[in-house]
Every structure is written in structure tokens, then in C-alpha cells.
Structure 1
Amino acid sequence: MSPALFDGTTAEDEYYLPRQLSKEVYEARIKIHRSEYITERDFVTIKSMGMEAVRIPVPYFIFGDREPFIGCIEELDKAFNWAETYGLQVLIDLHTAPLSQNGFDNGGISGVCKWAKHPEEVEFVLTVLERLAKRYGTRKGLWGIEVLNEPITENMWKTMNVQERYPAVEPELAEGSGPVTIEFLKEFYKAAYERIRAHMPEEKYFVIHDGFELKAWKGFMQEAKYKNVVLDTHQYLMVAEANGCEQTIEAYVNYIREHFQKDIEEMEEYFPVICGEWCLFNSLACGWDTKGGQSVLNGLDGEVKSAVTAEEKKQIYEAVAKAQLEAWNSGSGYFYWSYKLLTDTVNTSGWIGWDSWDLGRCVDFGWFPRA
């Protein structure tokens, strides 16, 4: 999200960043990043776009009790104050777990996925959720708490080819990694509900991620004691491509309607369904096959220029934006991933098309409709 943070290191995730920098340099970089990346002005901008809520990813070390990482609870306090001042709601999203729940770089440690196999770390995550609920449960600005971002189940583990796509720096640390089971997730979500609801009123939302298996949750948590449970699904066109979707506007739109929208409508019978992550990114607008967004250049050598004109790109993005928004609105709403991406797509080779991950740019370029 902010590549400059990793300058001078080979780290590709937050686990290795403090292990490659001195304590002083690491702390200075993190503190500067947190003070500058998202500020009060951003909340004003988000409100001006017509948005109603922000989904804020937080790490398991948010309370500062997992060295060598630095806690960030004060930043979340500030975000709540800004949100409440400007009339926005906050969905707190626990984005990482110790030893990772998915093996993605954004899961904190690439190529490692062992959190669910360590009961003491599962318990630690439950205590983090409990503390978050205790601190923010009655805040006016709280929309809800999302228990855990993108725990990966078997099918997506295979589709993403996680350990090749995100090779582990220390293979021995990655030994024993594998997908999380739906059965484990169901028990974990029930336990989390009890911990969170003890401090968060029933009118606030309890959000579970589908583990990339949207239709596997029929009948789950339907008992009367479970109040305001929301199902979060993440739908990206690059995954549609990985699943065989042709790279044309017509194919994208058809896939969105026949898969994303129909599945959401089907699951709305059981839960309010939100698309908690999506964006406009697709290979057609990049001008080449990105192999499901697998890498920036995907083996292409040298300077790469897009074969797509600015006008063609706008047409592609407008079409997929319209279709996706219709799909998400057939459910209970959406959050765009992400509001901001600090990547220079002009001067850094290979990043053509990646500005579509940045909502601010999408709005400014006219790719995304203003509310």
C-alpha cells in the first residue's frame, strides 16, 4: 500500500520489516507513515465522495503487546473521532493474526498460514477482539467489528497457489501451513460472537468473512440469539480471471451478474451480505494478461506501456463499475479496497493499471461514479 515504507529492505510484509531495520529506524518509519498516510483531511474527502462508512484494517498487535511490532490503538482512537465528527461509521476489521490466517503478504507474513493450528494464538486473537469491543463497542461511530479478514479455505488456497505466489522467506517457518477449515471457522466465529457481544450492543454489527466460500454459510448463526450478523464476501475480477473469465468487457459484466450478483442474492436470504473488498482492477484495462493479478509485470521484461488508451480504459472501468455496483446493491452494501494506494504508476515501471486499486484516483479520473 505504501512501498516507500519498505525501501532499503527485501521485506515484502510487516513481519520482516522490523527484522531488517534497526529498532530506531523501524519506529521512525512506522510513526511517520501512520501520521501522514491517513489524516483528518482523508475523512473529509471520503465524506465528500458520498461514502457512509470506512472499513479500517487493524493488526493483531494493535495494543502494542507483540514485540517487535508497535501498537496503533491511538491511531484508531483518532479515526473514530474524525469519523464521528464528519458523520461516518467505522467497521473495525481485524486484518491479521499471528502466524497468519491466509499466507498473503497483507496477512502479515507471506507464505505462512498456521494461526488456526495454534490454540494459544487463536485465544490471543479472541482477547484482541474482546478488547476492541470493550474500547469501542458503545461508540457512536462504530458500525461493527469484523472478526477476521480473509481466512483462507481450501479452494482459494489452491486457486491462489498461495505458497508459490507468496514464497516464504524462511521455509522452515512455513512448514505445516495450509488452509483453514470451514468447521474451524464456524466454531471460532461462535466463540468470537460471545466475546464481542459481551461489550458491543446488539444494534452494532458482528461481521464474518466467508473464507472465500460465500454459499457455505447457509443456515449458520440463524438462531435467535445471534443478532445483526453480517456476511462479508470479497469479490475481485482478477479472481474471476483466475477462474477462467475471458478478458473482455462483455465477459466481465456477464460474470459479475451470473456469479457475484446471483450468489449474493441467494445468500441474502440468510444474512445481510456486504462486499467488503472489491475494486475496478482487471487485465483488459492493463493491456495484458496479468494472470489474475499475480504480479506487476508477470515476466514481461523492460519498460511496459499499456496498449489501452485513456478513453478505452475509462470505458472499461465505467462498465465494470456499473455492473459491480448493481451486484453489491442487490445485497447490503460494499467497501472499496482501497481508499488510497501510494504507488507512482507513472514513474515506476510495471504498475500500469494498478491505480484502479485507489478509490480517490478512480473518482478523480471519472472511472467511479460520485454518489
Structure 2
Amino acid sequence: MALSDDTMRGVNLGGWLVLERYIKPSLFTVPECFDKGLHDPDVCTNDVDDAYPQDQWTLTGLFKNKDDARKYLKDHWANFVKEDDIIRIKNAGLGYVRIPVGHWIMGDISPDEPYVDGEWGDFVRVVKLCRKHGIQVWVDLHTAPGSQNGFDNSGRTLPTPTGVGWSGNPENVDRTIKAVRDIAEGIKQEGIEDVVTGFGVLNEPFKGQNEAQVKDFDDRAYRAVREVLGEGTTVYIADMFDAERFNGFWDDEEHGNTVLDSHYYHVFAQTPRGFSPRQHIAYVCEKNSRDVNACCWKGGGAGGGTSVGLKRMIGEWSVSFDTLVCTKLDDVMDSYREGGEVLEFTRKIGEKRKKFLRNFAEAQMVAWESQDTGVSVGWFYWNFKMEGGAFAEWDYLRGVEEGWMPTLKAEEKAEHVFGRCEEIIFRTDDEMDIVHEFPPSDSVAPDWQAVEADDDVVVSHGESLLTKGSRERGDGIVLGFLSLVVFLLLGLGIAKKCCVRYFGGAGGKGGYQRVGEVGGVGEVA
């Protein structure tokens, strides 16, 4: 099915067929290997005092026999995604799910890989449930031999982020092409291509590897999908964490019905975790919105007409904003080992925090649907559900039930319902008491995702939008007085959306001067 004019809205079924331990931490406790009363040295390779596994590689590698590893995972495959989950997704107003799968799913596992297969039947089961309830499936090849990024979501965590073990190894690239083809052929043989309408050829190849090699893989994988599933299946590719580098790529009729996939998070980089609530919204309105519109344009130039090939989508995003998953996860896993109550398993989200989460979600939906340009076809939230409460902000279905995740009807547009992104800034309380930065920024060394948030709208918590409007209109004293009134109203939390419209909320994305001698955003939050 080719892309329609309707906005695509969906969730990821993450942590199911490609394991991520923060989604379901209990799965990684493996009682047969770590519980002193149940430890079986004939089954497990580890000592009972070893650390818990951190990814799919180390989890399946715990077992001496692959049959035992497969047996351990079968219950998870059969029960983590049930019909009730699909019904809840449908009732939340969503029409799509994105399903990450491993390169091993069709049985191509080399002797040195500890992975096990056996999950294909459950994949087909869930696809048929989606058909029953009117939901389309976009499958996503989430892993590659050698690891395309070094993250746990590739199946195997490496010491540092890198994809050269994949892209720099022709045999691994060829195996990945084979996985794409085998999955496509499996979809066709099962007769489910009417439901599986999108195919992602590889999730998040790391930005540091050879761009030409990645793009060559994309083209080969695209042709493999087309040869098996035809023109009706949308093929999507990852942006290597920099969408602009794909401007002009696949800008031709031959590559129609294709999409560039970007993932935007605030929580993994050090600086945004210290943002104030309004700064998070401002960052969405400014930096994230510009990134969404960085591609894909005819001829490779922004604003030069929509590409006849690549469109855009946001395949992953979240409202998690102040807690670094991997660091908090260490504490969660320690609580499993210590016994008793699991850390924050029954955690509740306070009402003030819920109010911010809703505004944060609304701003992102407005940005991702990109009404100004029309280049974005839609989005998928990460994730559909979570185990426990430590990472509750990642749980879309919980958010819908608790009211902090907004819903939209299929015919509605986010901006028409929620207002312009800049308007959301000024209806967001800017109190720092809901921000619980974990770990503190000064305790973590900057990583590859380090950002410099020096946009004046972000630094000023949105207030530069008001002064910009005043400068452009030249109304001088009158607007200066009204600005003072607005700031007083904002302080009381009763300013109306009309204030933003009048004072320059329509200033637009990219129309602001960058601040020169300003310290890190963490210093001004």
C-alpha cells in the first residue's frame, strides 16, 4: 500500500522480538542462572554472582544449549504482545505499529553468534491480530551481524558506539541483505503483505561509519524488498543521525514510496536533561523542527519542492526528559538482585509532571506532523508499554490511560487541535521542581550526542519570541508595556494563546539570531 495523505500515527512494539532490558528488566534476571536456589550449572555458563546480561547477545549466551535459550524466550514471545495490547493501541486512535526484528529471525545465525530463532510464528500471530483490528504493520530490521551501531538495540552492546564491524565487513553486509530478502519472502509466503505495508531495511546505522557504504546498502536492500514485495510496500531507511546528509538521495521517480526515518530524543544527550520545562518545548519548536525539515527536498535544497522519492517520518520519539535510562537501569537491576521491592516498580507520576508531559507530547506531535512543509508522513512513539514504573514516561498506553498522552482522531491535524508549537511554550509552567535530572550533568562526561543549545528561544525559555515580535512591528512603548503585562500573566500562569500570536509566535523556525557569549543551557535553566 502506497503512502496515503493521512498522517501516520503509531507505536513501536519494542522489547519484544529484539530485547532491551529497560523495557522488561525482569526478563534479564534469568532465575535458572542467577537465583541461588534455582541455579543450574548444567544449563547456564555463568557463575551465580556474575552481572546480569545487558543485551540479547549476553542473555542468550548465558545458556549452554540453544534449545534452553529458546525455551526461556518462548514465553516472552508468546505473551509480551497480546490481543488486548493491539485493541488498546487501536482504541488510542493509532493506525500503525512498528515491529523491530532481529537479523536472526529467519534462522541465519552464524556459529559464533549465540542468538536463537523461533519467534517468527509469534510475529505472524501479531500481524494477523493487527489485520483483525485494522492496524498496519511496519516491520523494522533492528539488528545486523557485527552490530551497525554498538547499541544494545543492535542485539550486541560494544565498548563504544560504532558500525564499522558491520559496514566495513562485506560478509556482514551481504548477510544483512539476505535477512531483508528472507523476511520479505516470509511475509509474502504467509500472505500478510496486505498488513505489512512498510519495511525498514536497518535501524540506526551509526553516524561515524562510511556514508557511501551505508547508502549502497540502502539501495541494495531497497531493491531486494521491491523484487519480493513490489512497489506497494513503503521502504524506509535510517538517517545516520543526520537527516540533511540524505538531501538529494533517492530524489527520483524510481525510488518512489520511500521514507527517511529519524529518531529524536531529549534524554540521551547531557545538556537537555537539565532543561527547564519551557526549554524542552522551545527545543522541539526550534532545533527539532528544523531537523525535521532538513530533508527531503527536490534537488537537495531545503524548500526546493518536495522530493519525488524520499519523504520523512519520525520512527522513534518519547516524552522521557530527565532520566538517563542506562544509569537508572543499573539501580533497577540492583534492586532485582537484592530482592524485595523492585525500584520504583509502582511509581506514580505527579499531576504537575503529567501536565508537562502532555504539553511536551503535543509539541512533538505538532513538530513531527510538520504542517508548514508537508514533508513528514507521520510518527511512531517509543514504546507501546513498559514493565514497572521506573521508565513510565516511555509507556504510551499508560500515558493515554492517565491522561498525559494526547490522542487525535484520524482526520484531525495536531496543529489544528493543539495550536502552534510556540503557543505550547507559553502554556507550559516553567517550574523546575518537576525536573529530576538523573544523573546530574556534571557527573557524566559528554558523549557523541552532546549538543550545544545556544538558540536564543531555548536560552530565553521562549521569551525572545515576545521581544522579536516587538522589534519586527516597531510598536515601541506600547508593546514594551504589553510585554511587561504578558510576563506578569505568565508568572501567574494565566496567559492566553493570543499573547503568543500577537507578540511574534509566528516568527517561524530558523528566524532567530544565535546567541554568542552564553554559557551552557544548564547554567541558565
TM-score category of the 2 structures, normalised to the smaller one: 0.7 to 0.9
The residue aligned with 2:158 is 111
In the alignment, is the contact (CA less than 8 A) between 2:184 and 2:229 conserved in 1?
yes
The residue aligned with 1:357 is 394
Work out whether 1:325 is the aligned partner of 2:365. Answer: yes
Distance 2:402 2:156 in 1: 34
Using structure 2 for the length normalisation, give the TM-score.
0.59
In the alignment, is the contact (CA less than 8 A) between 2:95 and 2:134 conserved in 1?
yes
Distance 1:15 1:41 in 2: 30
The residue aligned with 2:57 is 15
The residue aligned with 1:84 is 131
Distance 1:52 1:45 in 2: 11
In the alignment, is the contact (CA less than 8 A) between 1:61 and 1:71 conserved in 2?
no
Distance 2:289 2:296 in 1: 11
Which residues of 2 match residues 169-318 of structure 1 at below 5 A? 180-239=209-268, 241-242=269-270, 246-269=274-297, 270=307, 271-283=310-322, 290=323, 292-296=324-328, 310-318=350-358
In the alignment, is the contact (CA less than 8 A) between 2:272 and 2:321 conserved in 1?
no
Following superposition, the deviation at residue 265 of structure 1 comes to 2.6
The residue aligned with 2:27 is 5
Distance 1:5 1:279 in 2: 23
In the alignment, is the contact (CA less than 8 A) between 1:245 and 1:251 conserved in 2?
no
Following superposition, the deviation at residue 37 of structure 1 comes to 0.3
The residue aligned with 1:52 is 95
Structure 1 runs (4+) deviating above 4 angstroms are: 243-246, 297-305
What letter is aligned with 2:312? V
In the alignment, is the contact (CA less than 8 A) between 1:246 and 1:252 conserved in 2?
no
Following superposition, the deviation at residue 187 of structure 1 comes to 0.7
In the alignment, is the contact (CA less than 8 A) between 1:233 and 1:274 conserved in 2?
yes
The residue aligned with 1:336 is 381
CA distances 1:248-298 after superposition (whole Å, capped 9, x unpaired): 111111110111112213424333211100111011xxxxxx4x5451178
Distance 1:91 1:25 in 2: 30
Structure 2: stretches of 5+ with no match in the other structure? 1-22, 35-51, 298-306, 336-341, 371-375, 409-525
CA distances 1:306-350 after superposition (whole Å, capped 9, x unpaired): xx97012112201111110101111211001110222x22xxxxx
Higher RCO (C-alpha 8 Å, min separation 6): 2
Distance 1:70 1:200 in 2: 23
Compare 7-16 and 88-97 and name the one that shifted more: 7-16
Distance 1:12 1:55 in 2: 23
Distance 1:341 1:245 in 2: 21
Following superposition, the deviation at residue 106 of structure 1 comes to 1.6
Number of aligned residue pairs: give it. Answer: 330
The residue aligned with 1:72 is 119
Change (3 A) 1:140 1:329: same
Following superposition, the deviation at residue 204 of structure 1 comes to 1.7
Work out whether 1:144 is the aligned partner of 2:180. Answer: no
CA distances 1:216-238 after superposition (whole Å, capped 9, x unpaired): 10000112211211010000111
The residue aligned with 1:27 is 70
Following superposition, the deviation at residue 370 of structure 1 comes to 2.4
Distance 1:46 1:143 in 2: 18
The residue aligned with 1:129 is 180
Change (3 A) 1:223 1:259: same
The residue aligned with 1:162 is none
DSSP-derived class of the 1:334 partner: strand
What letter is aligned with 1:277? E
Following superposition, the deviation at residue 64 of structure 1 comes to 2.2
What letter is aligned with 1:131? D
Distance 1:309 1:131 in 2: 43
In the alignment, is the contact (CA less than 8 A) between 1:102 and 1:152 conserved in 2?
yes
Structure 1: stretches of 5+ with no match in the other structure? 155-179, 284-289, 346-350
CA distances 1:59-80 after superposition (whole Å, capped 9, x unpaired): 0010123164123221221122
DSSP-derived class of the 2:232 partner: coil
In the alignment, is the contact (CA less than 8 A) between 1:245 and 1:255 conserved in 2?
no
The residue aligned with 1:43 is 86
Change (3 A) 1:293 1:37: closer
CA distances 1:161-213 after superposition (whole Å, capped 9, x unpaired): xxxxxxxxxxxxxxxxxxx2222111110111111110122122010010111
Alpha-carbon RMSD across the aligned residues, in angstroms, is: 2.6
Using structure 1 for the length normalisation, give the TM-score.
0.82
DSSP-derived class of the 1:102 partner: coil
DSSP-derived class of the 2:380 partner: coil
DSSP-derived class of the 1:57 partner: strand
Change (3 A) 1:297 1:201: closer
DSSP-derived class of the 1:333 partner: strand
The residue aligned with 1:102 is 149
Change (3 A) 1:245 1:2: closer
The residue aligned with 2:512 is none
DSSP-derived class of the 1:231 partner: strand
Distance 2:89 2:285 in 1: 28
In the alignment, is the contact (CA less than 8 A) between 1:233 and 1:275 conserved in 2?
yes
Distance 2:329 2:198 in 1: 38
What letter is aligned with 1:259? K
DSSP-derived class of the 2:293 partner: helix
